[in-house]
Amino acid sequence: MITIALPKGALLKDSISILEKAGLNFSDALLENNRSLTIESKCRRAKALLVRNGDVPVYVSYGQADLGIVGYDVLQESELKVAKLLDLEFGGCHMSLAVKNNSKYSKPTDLPANCKVASKFTKTARAYFDDLNIPVEIVHLMGSVELGPITGMAEAIVDLVATGKTLKENGLNKIDDLFYSTARLIANPLSLRLDSNPLRDVILSIESSKGILNI
């Protein structure tokens, strides 16, 4: 039986939709009263693990899942070894650099040397500023990074931005986009090497289905 790690939260509904179009029905995971962390597909060909988005590469890398669906932002932060297979083209949002509306900064190079930048995505933020040759101090926050500039702890933030509503409501605006993040299909490399066809058949079915989501 194939095991697929699915991200709970914003990506779950479309993940289940694309898998259903590929012949794997995990719709029970969307039931309001569902509390199970594992769901068997209706056809009994596969099992889903419902995990946090950030944990998907962990389960795939360590072999507890053969496949996984995860945001590109998570892959950029992760150093775990997984096979990156497909851009599933849903769950789109930008990884962005944002500052307070009333600041004097309109582009990254306006930021003062060695200023503080708050982010959940410290590896991504560090690589971005290193590429620009801008020395900054990255402050790791797990919660609402918007509070960094609001409280004066940080001059800027690096965070995911979908509609921009949260930034606007907190008096922030973005001044640069680092990259565009979408949901990606990943696999355990050993599972791919040992597969005798069932796994590859699922991957091909997902690839043929990814362009027909209503998003």
Residue 41: domain span: 2-91+182-212
How many domains does the chain divide into? Answer: 2
Q: pLDDT (tens digit, 9 = 90+) per residue, 116-138?
A: 999 999 999 999 999 999 999 99
Amino acid 168: pLDDT: 95
190 and 87 belong to one structural domain: yes
pTM attached to this predicted model:
0.89
Amino acid letter, 156 = A
Amino acid 211: pLDDT: 55
65 and 19 belong to one structural domain: yes
Amino acid 36: pLDDT: 85
Ranges of the chain with pLDDT below 70: 210-215
Q: What is the mean pLDDT of the chain?
A: 92
What is the CA 71 to chain-centroid distance, rounded? 2
Q: At what angle do helices 12-21 and 198-209 cross, to 10 degrees?
A: 110
